[in-house]
Structure 1
């Protein structure tokens, strides 16, 4: 084998090795990103469940009976008597 043949063989071998290392590194990054994606999807699902729970809680707390009870008990509010109502005319 001539010197130029040996040089060409060495360059091709180097190119194959670099390509192989690139494939392995690419596969490593792909797996790493896939794991990160799965973690984000799990977090998205958890947040979706929490959002649904909060919407249910909000609809429960916004009912008229709950609001009225909190106004009466917590804020000491009451419906005004007829004598307490003032009509303002302009």
Structure 2
């Protein structure tokens, strides 16, 4: 009986050790994946900041005014060119 108990305890100890090794291996893999995802997130945040800056530059009113004048030939109307329509 004690021999059977000893064998069961040794088997449980080996199984427990294998479970610890597996859990550590899985933890390392997940940590590496987390690090990759954090790096990708940081790169996306940097790109998003660049795109916001670019959008602000393109949407600036002076830029829009310059493009309207240069490319489209637009200008502000002079006094006699303004017509007021009243209901």
- TM-score between both structures, scaled by the size of structure 2: 0.86
Q: Size of the alignment, in residue pairs? A: 87
Q: Note the aligned Cα RMSD (angstroms).
A: 1.5
The residue number in structure 1 matching 2:18 is 21
- Give SS of 1:9's match: helix
Q: Distance in 2 between matches of 1:65 and 1:81?
A: 20
Q: Structure 2: which 5+ runs fail to align?
A: none
- TM-score between both structures, scaled by the size of structure 1: 0.83
Q: Structure 1: which 5+ runs fail to align?
A: none
Please show how residues 13-52 of structure 1 align to structure 2 within 5 Å: 13-52=10-49
The residue number in structure 1 matching 2:4 is 7
Deviations 1:31-89 (A, max 9, x none): 00100110111111111111211122122222222111222233343222333322111
**Pick aligned residue for 1:72 from 69, 73, 86:** 69
